[in-house]
Amino acid sequence: MGGPRAKSTIVYVTPDGVYPGGVTSEDATGVRRRDAAATRRLLLEAARRRFAADGYTAATVRDIATDAGVNVALINRYFTSKEGLFEACLAGVGDELGRTVGDVTLDRIPHDIAARLAGPHAAQHRTQLLLLLRSSGDEKAEAIRVEILRRFAEKMTAAAGLRPDDAGILRAQLALAASIGIALLRASTALEPLASAGQDDLVGPLTDMFTALMAPRDA
Amino acid sequence: MGGPRAKSTIVYVTPDGVYPGGVTSEDATGVRRRDAAATRRLLLEAARRRFAADGYTAATVRDIATDAGVNVALINRYFTSKEGLFEACLAGVGDELGRTVGDVTLDRIPHDIAARLAGPHAAQHRTQLLLLLRSSGDEKAEAIRVEILRRFAEKMTAAAGLRPDDAGILRAQLALAASIGIALLRASTALEPLASAGQDDLVGPLTDMFTALMAPRDA
DNA sequence: GCGCTATGTAAACGATTGCTGACTTGCCAA
DNA sequence: TTGGCAAGTCAGCAATCGTTTACATAGCGC
């Protein structure tokens, strides 16, 4: 009690009927109905899912807006265009990846990737990975994506103790490409046993694969 | 002379002007102008390229028809719909893959894949691989694709001498997914050095990767 | 309380999409 | 030579796309 604002059930009454508040941009906590930051967030979340799942072209702004529970026109208001929204999604993923992918060591990479592919938060991580290969044809978006991938591979190169020359970076990029390919095939087809393999099933093969690919070698 | 038909320059004269014949479905040899089989072939080739490069949704029937030098309406005549054309492309790739991917052995797989990714006919092979993960949302197309992938992985399992149980097949499918991922990232981004790595650069890492992933193991 | 501005809504715009029907026209058989 | 039919052309359909515009309204400063 004592809050400055009574948080009783909010209800909108319109000529078309009565429906509960929060359909548009309400936080789960019930605070604030007209909040630009919150709507932006909702749009970004919905867009990320749609772009990752359907691809840039197949994902329509109307679908995204509906998923977010937001009016379509707000996409253009907050992100200028569909491409702007896509770029914002990519930038967001870049930030998260930069923060969450801390300093890893080679022996933890397979387990880490297996967790990203089939772990408890696989859905989010898979969305992140898939976004990285969804192309919009837009130059700016393309540049952002390449930069994210480049940095990601760079980190893996360092983590694996590979020499930071072309050969070493190539190996890290191959590992990254392989991971994304696995994520994509798991997500987009019903290919068994790959599609429903659990984390435990993946760790073994992935360990073999990544250690062979990225274990530092001399000469 | 004495040919049954004078093959002089063919010219169409229409109310809109005069333009040379063969714009539509003429073979390079100059034979036959109105040939349903040839037009089908041209459409399939163009569609395969477009679908692989741009994805199902982004590839428009008008683009495909223009690439093929053929009237748009013929797509619907010969393939019923855009989805029908896509299914026909997938089926074609399935046939080719079934024929060209003969009996391989484990030690030749890395070199073989490296050749497909960066060899002399990389463009065709890459188109084949990319088509396998382009989704149309159509159920029938989805079924065709999964079947192709399933068979492909099955062949790799046998070639590698892996046990045909879930664990073995999973490893083959992982190798397949990794290959496709590499192909996709090479094709869709300017990520260096991966994007322009040659066949020689790829054989080494791929060999490490695939032997570790697919070398038969006991216990 | 009042008015201004940020936020959200509704409706429509032109462009583009896949597709169709009515039509020409080349080509082979009789 | 000439019908008949397959092959190809053309114009336009309805639907959907991304986007814009004009309008309502909530919420905060005064």
> What is the C-alpha separation between A133 and A180, in angstroms, rounded?
8
Query: What does the pLDDT average to over A26-36?
Result: 59
pLDDT in tens, B29-52: 444 578 999 999 999 999 999 999
Query: What does the pLDDT average to over A159-173?
Result: 93
Q: A209 or A10: which carries more pLDDT confidence?
A: A209
Question: Chain D: nucleotides under 7 Å from a protein CB?
Answer: 6-12, 16-22, 26-27
Q: How far is the CA of B59 from the C1' of D6 (A)?
A: 29
At residue B32, the pLDDT reads 53
**Cβ separation A193–B211 shorter than 8 A:** no
Q: Is the pLDDT of residue B162 over 70?
A: yes
Q: A74 or B8: which carries more pLDDT confidence?
A: A74
Q: Which nucleotide is closest, CA of A80 to its C1'?
A: D19
**Cβ separation B184–A188 shorter than 8 A:** no
Name the residue among A174, A182, A212 with its Cβ closest to that of B177: A182
pLDDT in tens, A89-120: 999 999 998 887 776 788 888 888 888 899 89
Which residue is nearest nucleotide D11, judged by alpha carbon to C1' distance? B73
pLDDT in tens, B78-118: 999 999 999 999 999 999 988 877 767 888 888 888 888 99
Question: Which residue has tokens 């408890």?
Answer: A120
Q: What are the chain B neighbours of A174 within 8 Å (beta carbons)?
A: 182, 194, 202, 205-206, 209
CA distances from B31 to A109, B5, B25, B39, B153 (A): 59, 11, 10, 13, 41
- The reply to whether omega before A193 is within 30° of 0 (cis) is yes
| Nearest alpha carbon to residue A110 among A199, A48, A13, A21 | A199
- Furthest CA-CA distance within chain B: 78
Q: How far is CA A136 from the centre of its chain?
A: 16
Write A160-164 long-range contacts (CB < 8 A, 24+).
A160/A106, A160/A109, A160/A214, A160/A215, A160/A216, A161/A106, A161/A216, A162/A214, A162/A216, A163/A216
Q: What is the mean pLDDT of chain B?
A: 83
Question: Chain C: nucleotides under 7 Å from a protein CB?
Answer: 6-12, 16-22, 25-27
Q: How far is the CA of A185 from the C1' of C14 (A)?
A: 38
| Nearest alpha carbon to residue A179 among A209, A143, A159, A157 | A209
Q: Is the pLDDT of residue A78 over 90?
A: yes
Name the residue among A193, A209, A212 with its Cβ closest to that of B166: A193
Q: Which residues contact residue B31 at a Cβ distance below 8 angstroms, ignoring those fewer than 6 apart?
A: none
User: What is the residue type of A194?
Assistant: L
DSSP letter string, A22-43 = TSSS--TT---SS-HHHHHHHH
Q: Which nucleotide is closest, CA of A25 to its C1'?
A: C8
At residue A217, the pLDDT reads 65
d(CA A191, nearest CA chain B) in Å: 6
pTM of the entire predicted model? 0.85
Query: What does the pLDDT average to over A37-49?
Result: 97
Which residue is nearest nucleotide D20, judged by alpha carbon to C1' distance? A73
> What is the C-alpha separation between A57 and A134, in angstroms, rounded?
9
> What is the C-alpha separation between B26 and B49, in angstroms, rounded?
19
Query: Taking a C-beta distance cutoff of 8 angstroms, is the pair B65, B75 a contact?
Result: yes
CB within 7 A of strand C (chain B, 25-54): 32-34
> What is the C-alpha separation between A128 and A45, in angstroms, rounded?
11
